[in-house]
Structure 1
Amino acid sequence: MKQILLPTDFSEISKNAIDYALELFQDSECTFHFLNTYTPVIYNYDYQMNTGGHVGGVVDIVRNNSKEQLEALKKYVIEKYNNPKHKFELISSFSLLTEEIEFLVEKLNLDLVIMGTKGASGLQEVLFGSNTVHTIKKVKCPVLAIPDGFFFEKPKEILYPTDYKIDYTSNHLMVLKNIAKMYKSTVHILHVSSGNELNETEKQNKDKLDNMLNGIDHIFHTVPDQAIPNAINDFQKTTYIHLLMMVKNKHTFLENLFFKKVIDQIGFNLTIPFLVVPSEF
C-alpha cells in the first residue's frame, strides 16, 4: 500500500492538489496522510502582558481548529470519492512544514509528497514559494507539485529532461514507472546536446535508463544546445505534456536551472504537475 503525504493549509490551492492526488491514484491502494502544521502568530504586546507571556491557550485554539478542519477535509474526500482502496490519516502538528515533512518521511516511510503551488506567471513564483522550494530542496522523498488551477488529466505524456550524468537507480524511477504503467503513458526523455558526443559514462547511463524503462513506452529525444527551459517549452509546442519529471542532483543542471537567480531571466512558466525526485532517494 502506498504511503502518500498531502500537506494542507486548507486553501483552495492545497485542496486542488488533494483532488489531483486522489484521482491520480484512484485505482491504487493508498494511505493518504493529511498534514496540517501550525505555529501561532506573533502576539501583540497587550496580549502578552495580560497573559503573562503565556501562549498556551492560543496554541490550544489553533490546534483544535487544525484538527476540526482536518476532520472536515477527511469527510469531504470520503463523501466525494467513496473509494474503498483509500485510507486516510490525519496529522496536526505544532511545527514548521518542511521539518515535519522530513520527520514523517522517515517515520511513515513515505513514497510520495503531493502539494499545491501558487498559480504564477513564472517558475520563480511557483518554486520559490517558501513551502514548496524548501520541501523540494530538503526532503529526501519524491515531491509532486500541482500548480493552482491545474485539474486532473490522465498523464499520458510525461517529459523527463536529463543530461545522462545520473547513475540511475530503481528508486529514482519508481514513481515515474508506477504512473506510466497505470496510465500506459509515453515517457519522453529529452537531452539537450552540447554539441559533443556522449562520453562513455553518459552512454552507459543512457543505456541503463533504456533498460530500466523496459516495458514502458519511451522515446529518446535530442535537441541542439539551448537553455533547458527553452527546450522544454519548445517540446511542449509539439507534444501536449501532462507531467514534468526531474531528478534533483546537485551535480546536474537541475541545481543551476531551478535554484539560482537565472530563473529571473528565463521566464519559464510551470503550468503542469512537476515531479522532483531527490538523488538520495
Structure 2
Amino acid sequence: MRHILLPTDFSDNSWNAIKYAIKLFKDQACVFHLLNTYTPVIYNVEYVLGYPAQFGLGDVMRDTSQENLKELVAKITEEFPDNSKHKFETLSRFDTLISGIKEFMNKHTTHVIVMGTKGATGAKEILFGSNTVHVFKEIKCPVLAIPSNFEFENPHEILFPTDLEVSYRDTQLNLLKEIAISHNSRVNAMHVSTGYEFTEAKTNNKLELESIFKNISFLFHEIKSMDVTEAINEFQIKSKINLLVMINNKHSFFENLFFQSKLKQIGFHLTIPFLVIPSDQKKQL
C-alpha cells in the first residue's frame, strides 16, 4: 500500500493538488494522509509564557484545523465516492510546514508528498513559492508539486532531464516507473551536452537508465550545448509534456537551478506538475 502525504492549508491551490493525487493514483491502493500545520500569525515563546491565554488561541486554532480536515474528507468522499482502494487519514499539528512534515515522516512511512504550489505574486519568472522550494531542499522524499489551476491530465509524456552525473539505483526511480506503467507513459530522458565528450561514468549511467526503463516506452534525447532551462522550455513547446521529473542530487544542475544564485531567475514558465526525487532517499522508499 502506498502512503501519500498531502499537506493542505484548505486553499483552492491545495485542493487542486489533492484532486490530482487521487486521480494519478486512482488504480493503486493508497492511504492519503491529510496534514494541516498551523501557527498563530504572531507566535512568540515569551508571549506564550507571559500570557497563558495564548494557549487558548492554540486550542481554537487546533479545533478549527480539525474541523476543516473533517470537512475536507467529506468533500473528497463526495467528489470521489467509489474508490475502495483509497483511505484517508487526517493530522492537525501546531507546527511549521517543514517541521510538521519531518515529524510526520519520522513516525509514518511516506512514499511521496503531493502539494500545490504557486509562484510569488507579480514575479512570473519564479516558478515556485518559498514553501515548495524549502520542501524540495529539506525533505528527503519524492515531492510532486502541482501548479495552480492545473487540470488533471494523464502523464502520457514525461520529461526527465538528467546530467547523467548520478548512478541510478532501481529503487530511486520506482515511483517514476510505476507512474509510467500505470498510465502507459513514455519517458523522455534528456541530456544537455556541455560540449565535452561522454565520460565512462556518464556512459555507464546512461546504460543503467536504459536498463531500468527497458520494459517502458523510453527515448533518450541528446541536446546540443544549451542552457538547461532553455532546453526544457523548448522541449515542452515541441512536445506535449504532462509531467516533469528531476533527480535532486548534490552538485547537480538541479541544485544549481534551484538553490544557488539562479533561484530568483529560474526562467521556467512551467505549467505542468513537477516531480522531484532526492538522490539520498530514506530506506523506506
- What TM-score does the superposition give when structure 2 sets the normalisation length? 0.92
- Which residue type is aligned with residue 60 of structure 2? I
| Map of 1:63 onto structure 2 | 62
- Give aligned-pair identity as a percent: 48
Please tell me whether residue 6 in structure 1 is matched to residue 18 in structure 2.
no
Aligned to 2:126: 125
Which residue of structure 2 lines up, in the alignment, with residue 159 of structure 1? 159
Shift of 1:269: 1.2
Counterpart contact for 1:102–1:140, Cα < 8 Å:
no
The superposition leaves residues 81-131 of structure 1 with CA deviations (integer Å, 9 ceiling, x where unpaired) of 01111000000001111111122223211000000001567676333x222
Partner of 1:231: 231
Match runs of 1:239-250 below 5 Å: 239-250=239-250
The 2-side partners of 1:263 and 1:235 are apart by 21
Cα distance, 1:52 vs. partner?
3.4
Q: Deviations over 1:224-255 (max 9, x none)?
A: 11110100011111111000000001121111
Hey, what's the Cα distance between the residues in 1 that align with 2:145 and 2:266? 20
Give the secondary-structure state (helix, strand or coil) at the position aligned to 2:250. coil
- For 2:254, the aligned partner's letter is L
> Is 1:106 matched with 2:120?
no
SS in structure 2 at match of 1:276 = strand
More displaced stretch, 28-37 vs 110-119 = 110-119
In structure 1, what is the Cα distance between the partners aligned to 2:125 and 2:258? 8
1:19 matched residue in structure 2: 19
Identify unmatched segments of 5+ residues in structure 1: none
In structure 2, the CA distance between the partners of 1:135 and 1:43, relative to structure 1 (3 Å rule), is closer
Q: Secondary structure at the match of 1:222?
A: strand
State the number of aligned residues. Answer: 276
Q: Distance in 2 between matches of 1:111 and 1:123?
A: 31
For residues 254 and 76 of structure 1, do their structure 2 counterparts lie closer, same or farther at Cα, with a shift above 3 Å needed?
same
Moved over 3 A (4+): 51-54, 119-126, 263-266
Taking structure 1 as reference, are residues 122 and 238 closer, same or farther at Cα in structure 2, changes over 3 Å only? farther
- Answer whether contact 1:159 1:244 (CA < 8 A) is retained: yes
- TM-fit CA distance, 1:53: 4.8
Change (3 A) 1:52 1:234: closer
Change in Cα spacing, 1:97 to 1:53, as seen in structure 2 (3 Å) is same
Within a 5 Å distance, the mapping from 1:141-180 to structure 2 comes to 141-180=141-180
CA distance in structure 2 between the aligned counterparts of 1:98 and 1:199, rounded to whole angstroms: 38
Rate the CA distance shift 1:181–1:31 in 2: closer, same or farther, 3 A: same
CA RMSD of aligned residues (A): 1.9
Alignment match, 1:255: 255
Relative to structure 1, is the Cα distance of residues 102 and 124 closer, same or farther in structure 2, using a 3 angstrom cutoff? farther
Q: Secondary structure at the match of 1:262?
A: helix
The question of whether the paired residues in 2 share the 8 Å contact of 1:122 and 1:268 is answered with no
Q: Structure 1's 172 and 33: CA in aligned 2 closer, same or farther, altered over 3 A? A: same
TM-score, normalised to structure 1's length? 0.93
Counterparts of 1:55 and 1:271, CA distance in 2 = 41
1:195 has 2:195 as partner: yes
Residue deviations 1:195-223, cap 9 Å, x none? 22210001001100110111010000011
Structure 2 distance, partners of 1:122, 1:232, is 20
Structure 2 gaps of 5+ residues are none
Measured at CA, do residues 124 and 96 of structure 1 come closer, stay the same or move farther in structure 2, by a change above 3 Å? Answer: farther
Separation (CA, whole Å) in 2 of partners of 1:124 and 1:172 = 30
In structure 2, relative to structure 1, the CA distance for the partners of 1:41 and 1:210 (3 Å cut) is same
Distance 1:122 1:246 in 2: 23
Deviation at 1:65, TM superposition (A): 0.1
For residues 73 and 31 of structure 2, the distance between their equivalents in structure 1, rounded to whole angstroms, comes to: 12
